[in-house]
Amino acid sequence: MKLLRMKSWLVLAVAMAVLSGCAAGLRLDTSKTAVSQESRVKFLIIHYTALDMPTSLRVLTQQEVSAHYLVGDDNPTTVYRLVDESQTAYQAGLSDWKGFSRLNPSSIGIEIVNLGYQDGPNGRTYQPFPQYQIDRLIPLIRDIVARHKIKPENILGHQEIAPQRKPDPGPLFPWKQLADAGLIPWPDANQVAALQAGYEQQLPDIAWFQKKLAQHGYATPQTGILDDATRNVLIAFQARHRPAKFDGTPDAESAAILEVLTTTAKTIGKQ
Amino acid sequence: MSFFIIKHNPANIPAMKKFFTLIAMTTLLTGCASTLNIDRTYSGKLQDSRARFLVIHYTVSNLQRSIELLTGDQVSVHYLVTDEAQPRIYGMVDENKRAWHAGKSEWKDYKSLGASSIGIEIVNPGYTDTAQGRVYAPFPQKQMDVLLPLIKDIVARNQIAPENILGHSDIAPQRKQDPGPMFPWKQLADAGLIIWPDAEQVKLKQAGFEGHLPDIAWFQKKLHVHGFAVPQTGELDAATQNVISVFQMKYRPANIDGKPDAETAAILEVLTTAPSTIGTPFLEQTAQAQK
């Protein structure tokens, strides 16, 4: 009887210690709560793995890279949660967007199983994303974005935050479907056409492109010269916004899209 | 019809209640996970806390005003250490969330550290400019005795590397002075929390530098290696002086004039060349290998 009483007393003590946790040692006063606070997650980064499913899973769980989510290429598509959203995953690497750099601690990463590109005699060919995969991806993005209040303009491809190093998710990734789902801004086609006509007459110079690309968010040299680094940024921009042609050469259509994206209000939801 | 019968049979009411409770609980438990159907079988090996930096501030305002400001719509912080006779720690923002304390900031090529840091504000009036120059308010030992265990706890839970425990001025040297030259960084070093340059080594290097002071470009390069955002112009401009002054506040608070000198050079040299003597820089080595 005595032993039993002691036992229950001990259990109670242990339970209390567990419940109070470190707060007991530190004596934290939680009576004042800040209103100015938000999620640590500011960006959502989309990747392709360039590996098949089993290899993707192995690399992202056992090697020196990781991602929060892995979207499979099976049908129906499996979505794996590999890293809890409260943690940093190692997916962004050296990266920049709008004055933010090294985006790992401030982003959630989604890897999509897709083989990326192959170089053949007829040039580079990219593997398309099957619709069933995208149908699984969009609700996932919607859920993440809603919970962390990620801004539409902060849903990005890996190539956009690391244009000198990365090609993913590539020109076949259907960004338009994300726009149609109300997730990202999309330039108004009529506005683009109107501006393009003007730019056909006179193309803005490289300094203009560099300034606008930086304003949009890309880390871009401001040299006035079409160097390799600037070309890579233009390629990243075109691969997302004008995937029919992404050679990194400045042209009237790219200028028009860039102008619309950097000057008009975000036209989210209105298609 | 059957529902009608159950409803009018008093014996069945508890059973019905149970049934509804079960439905409600099932709905709650599955939540949105059921619609998204996420597979949680596997776990990434490489992951860590989103909090990579710990940033220390002083409030400049008194306790009441500090609380007002930090619960307002402009700024916030994870922890506030008071200046009461028996100092208290307010937990104002959960560590999982971003608080608005860092602002425009940079350390080791990370920019805008709000998302990747935990902030601690200490109630301290900061400085007053007098005829004898700028005078900073000291930090009472009782405050430090509360602060040190807090830092230790945060650092252990989030695996923050010693070189990432910083003052607000370290990450924003062009805008900020806090926590200022009176903040006893040495106590953090004695508690094993931050790296401190070996005094013997500093003396040795200083003797060498007295005869031949390195040029500004050397200082700028070393300050950058240490972690600061600093111009690489080879000139002692105002921005570079601000960075040197902030560096001096931490490691050589007796003279924080922002001018390059042999002692400052010696401390900088020891800090940037000696291997870190505490712990292991968490995941720093894998940072290069990151995708």
**ipTM value:** 0.83
Which residues in chain A are closer than 8 Å to B42, comparing Cβ atoms? 57, 61, 80, 82
Q: Is B38 within 8 Å of A29 when comparing Cβ atoms?
A: no
Dihedral, A167, A169, A172, A173 alpha carbons, nearest 10: -160
Q: At what angle do helices A252-263 and A189-201 cross, to 10 degrees?
A: 130
Is the Cβ–Cβ distance between B236 and B216 less than 8 Å?
Answer: yes
DSSP B214: P
At residue B22, the pLDDT reads 52
Among candidates A32, A66, A87 on the partner chain, residue whose Cβ is nearest the Cβ of B50: A87
Beta strands at B53-58 and B79-81: parallel, antiparallel or unpaired:
unpaired
Q: Is A105 within 8 Å of B40 when comparing Cβ atoms?
A: no
| Tokens matching residue B121 | 């504000």
Single-letter residue type at B173: P
From CA A213, how far away is CA B152, in angstroms rounded?
43
Is the Cβ–Cβ distance between A242 and A254 less than 8 Å?
Answer: yes
Which residue of the set A38, A64, A111, A259 is catalytic? A111
At residue A13, the pLDDT reads 53
Which of A15-29, B188-202, B263-277 is predicted with the least confidence, judged by mean pLDDT?
A: A15-29
pLDDT tens profile B151-192: 999 999 999 999 999 999 999 999 999 999 999 999 999 999
Which residues in chain B are closer than 8 Å to A44, comparing Cβ atoms? none
At residue B29, the pLDDT reads 46
Q: Is B45 within 8 Å of A22 when comparing Cβ atoms?
A: no
- Tell me the H-state helices in B168-215: 168-171, 185-190, 199-211
Which residues in chain A are closer than 8 Å to B48, comparing Cβ atoms? 87-88
> Which residues of B are annotated as catalytic?
121
Which residues in chain B are closer than 8 Å to A135, comparing Cβ atoms? none
Chain length of chain B:
291
From CA A263, how far away is CA A259, in angstroms rounded?
6
Check pLDDT > 70 for residue B113: yes
Among candidates B46, B89, B99 on the partner chain, residue whose Cβ is nearest the Cβ of A26: B89
Torsion-angle region of residue A149: left (phi > 0), alpha (psi -120 to 50) or beta?
Answer: left
Distances, alpha carbon A76 to alpha carbons A8, A83, A131, A268, B139, in Å: 51, 22, 11, 30, 61
Question: What mean pLDDT comes out for the span A182-205?
Answer: 96
pLDDT tens profile A220-260: 999 999 999 999 999 999 999 999 999 999 999 999 999 99
Could you write out the DSSP letters of every residue in chain A? Answer: -HHHHHHHHHHHHHHHHHHHHHHHHHTEE-S---SSEEES--EEEEEE-SS-HHHHHHHHHHSS---SEEE-SSSSPPEEE-S-TTEEES-S-S-EETTEE--GGGEEEEEE----EEEETTEEEEPPPPHHHHHHHHHHHHHHHHHHT--GGGEEEHHHH-TTT--TT-TTS-HHHHHHTTSS----HHHHHHHHHHHHHS---HHHHHHHHHHHT-----SSS--HHHHHHHHHHHHHH-TT--SS---HHHHHHHHHHHHSPP-TT--
Chain B residue whose CA is closest to A139: B36
Which residues in chain A are closer than 8 Å to B40, comparing Cβ atoms? 80-81
pLDDT tens profile B36-88: 899 999 999 999 999 999 999 999 999 999 999 999 999 999 999 999 999 99
Nearest to B102 by CA among B123, B81, B88, B120: B120
At residue B68, the pLDDT reads 97
At residue B8, the pLDDT reads 39
φ, ψ of residue B231 in degrees (nearest 5): -60, 150
Q: Shortest Cα distance from B290 to chain A (angstroms)?
A: 5
Question: What mean pLDDT comes out for the span B214-236?
Answer: 97
Q: Shortest Cα distance from A240 to chain B (angstroms)?
A: 21
Which residues in chain A are closer than 8 Å to B95, comparing Cβ atoms? none
Single-letter residue type at B159: Q
Distance of CA B240 to the CA centre of its chain: 23
**pLDDT confidence band for B264 (50 / 70 / 90):** very high
Q: Is B56 exposed, middle or buried (0-12, 13-18, 19+ CB in 10 A)?
A: buried
DSSP B232: -
From CA A266, how far away is CA A187, in angstroms rounded?
9
Q: Is B100 within 8 Å of A32 when comparing Cβ atoms?
A: no
Which residues in chain A are closer than 8 Å to B104, comparing Cβ atoms? 99
Provide the 3-class DSSP secondary structure of residue B142: helix
Q: Is A99 within 8 Å of B48 when comparing Cβ atoms?
A: no
Which of A119-133, A160-174, B1-15, B127-141 is predicted with the least confidence, judged by mean pLDDT?
A: B1-15
Check pLDDT > 90 for residue B247: yes
Q: Is A66 within 8 Å of B51 when comparing Cβ atoms?
A: no
At residue A37, the pLDDT reads 96
Pick among A30, A47, A49, A64 to test the B interface (most B CBs inside 10 A): A64
Q: Is A80 within 8 Å of B290 when comparing Cβ atoms?
A: no
Q: Is A64 within 8 Å of B41 when comparing Cβ atoms?
A: no
Q: Is A37 within 8 Å of B97 when comparing Cβ atoms?
A: yes
Chain B residue whose CA is closest to A158: B291
Pick among B37, B39, B43, B46 to test the A interface (most A CBs inside 10 A): B46
Chain A, chain B: beta-carbon pairs less than 8 Å apart: 169
CB neighbourhood size of A163 (10 A): 27
| Strand segments (E) across chain B | 38-39, 47-49, 53-58, 79-81, 89-91, 97-99, 106-107, 110-111, 117-122, 127-130, 133-136, 165-167
Is the Cβ–Cβ distance between A50 and A115 less than 8 Å?
Answer: yes
Sign of the torsion angle spanned by Cα atoms A211, A212, A213, A215? positive
Q: Is B88 exposed, middle or buried (0-12, 13-18, 19+ CB in 10 A)?
A: middle
Chain A residue whose CA is closest to B157: A22
φ, ψ of residue A76 in degrees (nearest 5): -65, 150
Among candidates A28, A66, A139 on the partner chain, residue whose Cβ is nearest the Cβ of B45: A66
Contacting residues for A236 by C-beta, under 8 A, at least 6 apart: A157, A159, A160, A163, A218
φ, ψ of residue B49 in degrees (nearest 5): -65, 145
Contacting residues for B1 by C-beta, under 8 A, at least 6 apart: none
Among candidates B44, B76, B157 on the partner chain, residue whose Cβ is nearest the Cβ of A82: B44
Q: Is A64 within 8 Å of B72 when comparing Cβ atoms?
A: no
| Tokens matching residue B96 | 């999982």
Which residues in chain A are closer than 8 Å to B35, comparing Cβ atoms? 139
Q: Is B88 within 8 Å of A27 when comparing Cβ atoms?
A: yes
Nearest to A47 by CA among A38, A59, A62: A59
Q: Shortest Cα distance from B126 to chain A (angstroms)?
A: 22
User: What predicted TM-score, i.e. pTM, was given to this entire model?
Assistant: 0.84
Distances, alpha carbon A180 to alpha carbons A183, A269, A270, in Å: 7, 8, 9
Nearest to B251 by CA among B192, B201, B181, B204: B181
Provide the 3-class DSSP secondary structure of residue B45: coil
